[in-house]
Amino acid sequence: MTPWISVATYNERENIEALLAEIHKHLPEGHVIVVDDNSPDGTGELLDALSQRDPWIHVLHRTGKLGYASAHRAGMKQAMEHGADVVLTMDADFSHNPAVLPALVQCINEGADLAIGSRYVPGGGTRNWPWHRQVLSRGSNAMARLLLGLRVHDCTGGFRAYRTSLLQRIRLDQFESDGYSFLEESLLLCALAGARIAETPIVFEERRAGKSKISRKVILEAIVLLFQLAWRRLFCRKALVDKYLITAPLPDQGGAPV
Ligand SMILES: Nc1nc2c(ncn2[C@@H]2O[C@H](COP(=O)(O)OP(=O)(O)OP(=O)(O)O)[C@@H](O)[C@H]2O)c(=O)[nH]1
Ligand SMILES: [Mg+2]
């Protein structure tokens, strides 16, 4: 199984080199595709030098800050074009511990179509997170579970592994999210596609260096999209499935129906 890891970067020069080394230490067979949005701090230039040195590092440069969601969609597409069997997504700031990568791949090896690094299962949690971030995270999770009918404990975490055969059935180019609502949008679509979803515990840590990119605009977008998806799931489900999925849900997969 060839894992590819999609990492989105915007101003992560202080983190990216050490992160890549840690990824390679824990998943030496993996390839990494870093999608950089012309970071003003020179992350892209550093990545060019690193990719010259190491053939498992790949860089996708985009012209400007186009958002977290489209960065991972682009990373996923490139990974699939390169023949990845499993595509993982993670942040560049060490909030997602690279030591967990093998456990996520293991979940896929054991039959899951989507494996989620979860803060909200036994053994998982958050470290050094201010109370307002915890409230935001818990609140958005509860809303996603309730409004989208998801049975996953951590609907808003971005440390995940997707089986390629699952991604191939989802029209990534139809996605509407720009920011972190990508996580709920993709999770709903995976569930509608009948994916077997597993969760493995993670301890999410405050970023090691650099600044957060979360803005009010991104939070508002997530709330609006959540309500739109909930409405469509309840009242326009066929249109939702036709828009996003390439075939009907697989009946034999036993995934949690929504
Ligand atoms: N390519 C790209 N990457 C982005 C963009 N916005 C955020 N990222 C990256 O996405 C990952 C998550 O962003 P963060 O700012 O760490 O957001 P967060 O982890 O939810 O917030 P913090 O806990 O405050 O760090 C990081 O690796 C960012 O560099 C973007 O517009 N384009
Ligand atoms: Mg972060």
Contact 6, 60 (CB under 8 A): no
Query: How far is Cα 175 from Cα 69, in angstroms, rounded to an integer?
Result: 9
Helix ranges (H only) for the chain are 13-26, 43-53, 68-81, 101-109, 131-148, 164-167, 181-192, 216-235, 237-244
Which residue is associated with the tokens 């090896």? 109
Query: How far is Cα 192 from Cα 187, in angstroms, rounded to an integer?
Result: 9
- Which atom of ligand 1 is nearest the CA belonging to 10? 29
Mean pLDDT by 10 residues, the chain (258 residues): 95 98 98 98 98 98 96 98 97 97 98 98 94 91 95 96 96 92 95 96 92 85 94 94 78 47
| pLDDT at site 244 | 94
Query: How far is Cα 190 from Cα 242, in angstroms, rounded to an integer?
Result: 14
- Which atom of ligand 1 is nearest the CA belonging to 207? 25
Q: Is ligand 1 within 6 A of the CB of residue 104?
A: no
Whole-number Å distance, alpha carbon 90 to ligand 1 midpoint, is 10
| pLDDT at site 258 | 44
Q: Which of the listed CATH numbers 3.90.550.10, 3.90.100.10, 2.120.10.30, 3.30.465.10 matches domain 3-247?
A: 3.90.550.10
| pLDDT at site 257 | 45
Give the Cα-Cα-Cα angle 123, 20, 41 (nearest 5 degrees).
Answer: 110
| pLDDT at site 248 | 53
Q: Is ligand 1 within 6 A of the CB of residue 71?
A: yes
Query: How far is Cα 66 from Cα 207, in angstroms, rounded to an integer?
Result: 21
Query: How far is Cα 118 from Cα 121, in angstroms, rounded to an integer?
Result: 6
Q: Is ligand 1 within 6 A of the CB of residue 137?
A: no
Enter the tokens of residue 244.
Answer: 């996003």
Q: What are the C-alpha distances in Å from 98 to residues 41, 107, 112, 117?
A: 23, 15, 20, 11
Model pTM score = 0.93
Q: Is ligand 1 within 6 A of the CB of residue 65?
A: yes
For 45, other C-beta atoms within 10 Å of its C-beta total: 14
Residue 204's beta-bridge partner residues? 126
| pLDDT at site 76 | 98
Whole-number Å distance, alpha carbon 254 to ligand 1 midpoint, is 34
